[in-house]
Amino acid sequence: MEKYAIFVPRLVTKKETFAPGHRACIGCGEALAVRLVCKALGQNVIIVNATGCMEIVSSQLPYTSWRVPWIHTLFENTAAVASGIEAGLKVMTRKGKRTAQGVSVVAMAGDGGTSDIGLQALSGALERGHNFLYICFDNEAYMNTGIQRSSATPFGASTTTSPAGKMSIGQVTWKKNMPAIAAAHDIPYVATACPSYPFDLMAKVAKGIAISGPAYIHILSVCPTGWRCPPDLTIRIGRLAVETGIFPLYEVENGEYKLSFNFPQLRPVTDYMELQGRFRHLSEETIREIQHRVDKDYIKLTEKAV
């Protein structure tokens, strides 16, 4: 990634197509992610949104936070609705029923709406090769319904349906690797991003809509409410996720892996986990297990990258 000067924020468009007045929790990392994504998308876009935090906080009748065309239908069909929109626009332009050009179709869903209930529709849309960008806002649980576990919940995290208790350490499975699943569909562009690295995120979004064909971006969304951390640490925790190697930032362009950042030495996972109440119950042994796995996965990733 290019080195940006500190004053770059002022070069970003001042337009907020995701209007303030939305009802996200204070310090919401996902709201920030959506805001940044919208800055990169511009006005010439149609957004398809799954049921979830961002949909609920932004669209309570009779209000909407969206200043771009936006549709929400159900929880698991975001990619399918996006497919219909993309195909409809293409055909109508071809048949001369529509003159607007270059409208980007962007699907937004949470980790639940992507790697669990929405996986089928996503897989179908990626396989069919529709020209759209799919963004997964990953806050690592079904946050909107009350912090229940999803397949994106990390190992050892305590959620309401994988709670830590006498007989359990919380989530007993490892986080599903959604970017790898997307990449396995042989699509032109897959990337991971984090709002703590805003320009990297916006550049990736811009790349995603410019690419012809399906693109998938997976964005880590820090959730102070669900992760049980102070609301002002959202950006710091996002940075630590990257610096510990727990959420590496990379791109996969036509099957070739490319790290967005590489660190000569990763910070220990405890730096990241000790700030969050959802990991508070973990024993040293479990933390060692997690550290071991993170190190292993990071090496595997760097080996894939050029």
Partner 1 sequence: MAKRVGIEVSLAIAETAKLANVDVVAAYPITPQTHIVEHLAQLVADGELDAAYIPVESEHSAMSACLGASAVGARTFTATAGQGLELMHEVLYIASSMRLPVVMVVVNRALSAPLSVWGDHSDVMAVRDTGWIQIFTENGQEVVDNLLGAFRIAEDQRVLLPVMIHLDGFHLSHMVEPLFLPEQSEVDQFIPPYYYPFPLNPDKPITMGAFAPPIIYSETKKAQEVNLEASKAVILQCWKDFGSFFKRYYSPVESYLSEDARVLLLTMGSFSETAMTAIDKMRKEGRDVGLLKLRLWRPFPFGEIRQAVKNAEVLIVLDRALSFGGPGGPVCSEIRSALYDEEKKPKVISFVGGLGGRDITVAGFEYIVNRGIEISQTGSEQEFEMFGVRE
Partner 2 sequence: MTKPENEITWKDLEIGSIVTEPGNASQYQTGDWRSQRPIFDNKKCIKCGICYIFCPEGCIEQNVEGYFEANLFYCKGCGICTRECWTQAITMVEEE
How far, in Å, CA of 190 to CA of 216, rounded? 5
For tokens 């997307």, what's the residue?
182
72 binds, among partner 1, partner 2, none (CB under 5 to 8 A by kind): partner 1
Buried b (16+ CB within 10 A) or exposed e, 272-291: bbebbebbebbeeeebeebb
Does 69 bind partner 1 (CB under 8 A)? Our answer is yes
For residues 92-131, which are near partner 1 according to CB under 8 A? Answer: 92, 94-95, 97-98, 100, 103, 120-121, 123-124, 127-128
How far, in Å, CA of 40 to CA of 43, rounded? 9
Report the SS3 class of residue 203: helix
Question: Toward partner 2, which CB reaches closer, 152 or 223?
Answer: 223
Burial class (CB in 10 A: 0-12, 13-18, 19+), 96: exposed
Are 155 and 172 within 8 A, CB to CB? yes
| Single residue of 113, 156, 188, 198 touching partner 2 by CB under 8 A | 198
| Single residue of 19, 23, 90, 305 touching partner 1 by CB under 8 A | 90
Pairing state between β 189-193 and 250-253? antiparallel
What tokens appear for 91 in the block? 């055909």
Does 213 bind partner 1 (CB under 8 A)? Our answer is no
132 binds, among partner 1, partner 2, none (CB under 5 to 8 A by kind): none
| Single residue of 46, 52, 55, 59 touching partner 2 by CB under 8 A | 59
Torsion sign, CA atoms 235, 202, 3, 251: positive
| Single residue of 13, 26, 165, 173 touching partner 2 by CB under 8 A | 26
Burial class (CB in 10 A: 0-12, 13-18, 19+), 18: buried
Does 21 bind partner 2 (CB under 8 A)? Our answer is yes
Rounded to the nearest whole angstrom, what is the least distance from the CB of residue 7 to partner 1 in the complex? Answer: 30
Rounded to the nearest whole angstrom, what is the least distance from the CB of residue 140 to partner 1 in the complex? Answer: 23
How far, in Å, CA of 130 to CA of 85, rounded? 10
How far, in Å, CA of 233 to CA of 113, rounded? 26
206 binds, among partner 1, partner 2, none (CB under 5 to 8 A by kind): none
DSSP letter assigned to residue 304: H
Does 16 bind partner 1 (CB under 8 A)? Our answer is no
3 binds, among partner 2, partner 1, none (CB under 5 to 8 A by kind): none
A 10 A CB-CB count for 224 gives 21
Size of the site for partner 1 (CB under 8 A): 51
Does 193 bind partner 2 (CB under 8 A)? Our answer is no
Does 80 bind partner 1 (CB under 8 A)? Our answer is yes
For residues 60-99, which are near partner 2 according to CB under 8 A? Answer: 60-68
Residues that bind partner 1 (CB under 8 A): 43-46, 48-49, 55-56, 59-64, 66-74, 76-77, 79-92, 94-95, 97-98, 100, 103, 120-121, 123-124, 127-128
Residues that bind partner 2 (CB under 8 A): 6-10, 12, 14, 16-24, 26-29, 31-32, 35-36, 58-68, 195, 198, 230-236
